[in-house]
């Protein structure tokens, strides 16, 4: 998911470079992106995001029956837009040889290219099939689209904000999985994640009194806020929340940006060597690969722990230490920790350009 998001972003920035003559500079690394739609998380947002997530979780826990239809429709709309964004590069590739990239006007709705219309149509078709069938593969596809969109349009500006965000979400995940049952007599996280919602078609048929055979045979929907994986016997499903993908994915994008920034900065300084107490082999190890391996090991550990305890596990309990601790250690050994902690992409030179990921 992270690689697809990075590739999509690279394509977007290439298109922007073609349209603008004098746009990108090193100033884009200080937290402001050339694309106004990209949101950079600051320290205050990182601190309050777990609180907001907790409030949303409680609303879903206590008032799920009242808001399930609205929540299902909103989720379907967001999944449609996100999956259209995921399909857009492929549709651009398919439509480029056979049609010009002229935009078609739809009045007040705006102007769209043939690739955008094709990607949106395919996304709507996928969501409609999911609503009609409720198949877990389609739900996983929509969840992947949501992951890619969130990773593509959100930025972590520094290691400080990354640590604040991931540490807060670690506490949030552990509390709602392990300790919520002592307060609410139920595992809040598991109940919200596994509770299916009424199908909007079924609700609509009952409201309009369309008859017993119209819209009544559609299944209840498990919402695409997670990825599900069936067991070998098909008797149960394992789940991974999209937050367990998006939040480490944002960290991976941050370190990948820093790797590219540092590589460009070193080439501009004629290959200046790193600190004298660090071997050349250590300097060649990228932060991205270190964090990616940590994410893989953390996810594997969470899976093993879930099998051993036969109970839901907070994945961030394993993902956060296995990604942040190796990253912090490597940054300290390389002498980059102070720079990465605050304003890592600030540059005095306004003429040099760096790769945005």
Kindly report, residue by residue over 85-105, the tens digit of the pLDDT: 999 999 888 887 766 667 777
More confident residue, 169 or 37: 169
Report yes or no on 305 lying in a domain.
no
Report yes or no on 128 lying in a domain.
yes
330 — pLDDT class (breaks 50, 70, 90): very high
Q: Is the pLDDT of residue 321 over 80?
A: yes
pLDDT for the residue numbered 238: 82
Distance from C-alpha of 16 to C-alpha of 37, rounded to nearest angstrom: 13
Residue ranges making up the domain that contains 48 = 39-98+106-241
- Write out the catalytic residue numbers: 173, 244
Distance from C-alpha of 126 to C-alpha of 95, rounded to nearest angstrom: 20
The pair phi, psi for residue 4, each rounded to 5°, is -65, -40
Q: What is the pTM of this model?
A: 0.81
Report yes or no on 327 lying in a domain.
no
Report yes or no on 156 lying in a domain.
yes
What average pLDDT does range 229-239 have in this prediction? 73
Report yes or no on 80 lying in a domain.
yes
Nearest to 218, CA basis, from 132, 291, 281: 132
More confident residue, 133 or 235: 133
Residue pair 34/16 in contact by the 8 Å Cβ criterion: yes
Q: Is the pLDDT of residue 30 over 60?
A: no
Q: Is the pLDDT of residue 294 over 90?
A: yes
Count of the separate structural domains present in the chain: 1
DSSP string, 173-215: HHIIIIIHHHHHSS-HHHHHHH--B--HHHHHHHHHT--TTSS
349 — pLDDT class (breaks 50, 70, 90): very low
58 — pLDDT class (breaks 50, 70, 90): very high
Report yes or no on 247 lying in a domain.
no
Tell me the average pLDDT of the chain: 80
Q: Is the pLDDT of residue 357 over 70?
A: no
More confident residue, 293 or 238: 293
pLDDT for the residue numbered 7: 45
Reported as a single tens digit per residue, the pLDDT across 254-279 is 999 999 988 888 776 654 454 544 55
What average pLDDT does range 112-118 have in this prediction? 87
pLDDT for the residue numbered 284: 74
Report yes or no on 114 lying in a domain.
yes
Report yes or no on 345 lying in a domain.
no
């Amino acid at each position: 998911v992270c690689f697809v998001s990075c590739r999509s972003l690279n394509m977007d920035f290439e298109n922007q470079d073609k349209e603008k003559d004098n746009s990108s500079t090193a100033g884009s690394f200080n937290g402001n992106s050339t694309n106004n739609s990209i949101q950079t998380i600051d320290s205050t947002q990182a601190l309050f995001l777990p609180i907001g997530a907790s409030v949303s979780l409680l609303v879903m826990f206590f008032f799920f029956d009242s808001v399930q239809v609205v929540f299902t429709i909103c989720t379907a709309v967001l999944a449609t837009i996100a999956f259209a964004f995921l399909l857009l590069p492929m549709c651009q590739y398919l439509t480029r040889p056979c049609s010009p990239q002229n935009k078609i006007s739809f009045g007040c709705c705006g102007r769209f290219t043939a690739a955008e219309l094709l990607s949106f149509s395919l996304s709507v078709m996928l969501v409609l099939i999911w609503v009609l069938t409720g198949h877990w593969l389609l739900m996983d596809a929509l969840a992947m689209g949501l992951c890619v969109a969130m990773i593509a349009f959100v930025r972590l500006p520094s290691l400080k904000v990354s640590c604040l965000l991931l540490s807060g979400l670690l506490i949030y995940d552990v509390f709602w999985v392990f300790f919520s049952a002592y307060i609410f007599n139920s595992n809040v996280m598991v109940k919200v994640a596994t509770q299916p919602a009424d199908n909007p078609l079924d609700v609509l048929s009952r409201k309009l009194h369309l008859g017993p055979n119209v819209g009544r045979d559609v299944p209840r929907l498990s919402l695409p806020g997670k990825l599900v994986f069936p067991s070998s016997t098909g008797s149960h499903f394992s789940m991974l929340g999209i937050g367990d993908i998006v939040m480490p994915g944002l960290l991976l994008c941050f370190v990948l940006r820093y790797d590219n920034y540092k590589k460009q900065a070193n080439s501009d300084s004629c290959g200046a060597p790193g600190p004298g107490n660090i071997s050349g082999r250590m300097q060649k190890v990228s932060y991205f690969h270190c964090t990616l391996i940590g994410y893989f090991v953390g996810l594997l550990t969470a899976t093993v722990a879930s099998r051993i305890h036969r109970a839901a596990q907070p994945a961030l309990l394993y993902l956060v230490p296995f990604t942040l601790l190796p990253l912090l250690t490597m940054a300290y050994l390389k002498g980059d920790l102070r720079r990465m902690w605050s304003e890592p992409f600030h540059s005095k030179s306004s003429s040099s350009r760096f790769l945005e990921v």
